[in-house]
Amino acid sequence: MLFQQSDNRRHPRPPRERRKQRSITPTRTPPLPLTSENAVIKLGKTTASKGNVGGRPSVVDDDKLAVARARHAKGDSVTAIAKALGIGRATLYRHLGESA
């Protein structure tokens, strides 16, 4: 009786109850995962017909790009052109690369 285990635990844990898993009925289809393709499918009919493509609008419009091309052709540095137009260097490089 020296090593008898005591049965009085401080906080006995209650047995866990298992939840019932819900089954999908055959008449109900599961929702599509949210991907860009499914977003285009869902929203494409309404927004694309209005002319909206989505996304953030570009900082560089056609006028700024024409000025940047002309100054770049003269030999100005991209850093100076970007500062003058108020846009980032990487943005200017990206747009100059698209036009080339």
Q: Where are the alpha helices (DSSP H) in the chain?
A: 36-43, 49-50, 62-74, 78-85, 89-99
Q: What is the pLDDT of residues 48-57, one digit of tens each?
A: 666 666 778 8
Total residues found in the chain within this entry: 100
pTM over 0.95: no
Residue 30 makes CB contacts below 8 A (sequence gap 6+) with 24
Q: What is the pLDDT of residues 19-41, one digit of tens each?
A: 766 665 556 666 666 666 766 66
* Domain ranges within the chain, ordered by starting residue: 60-100
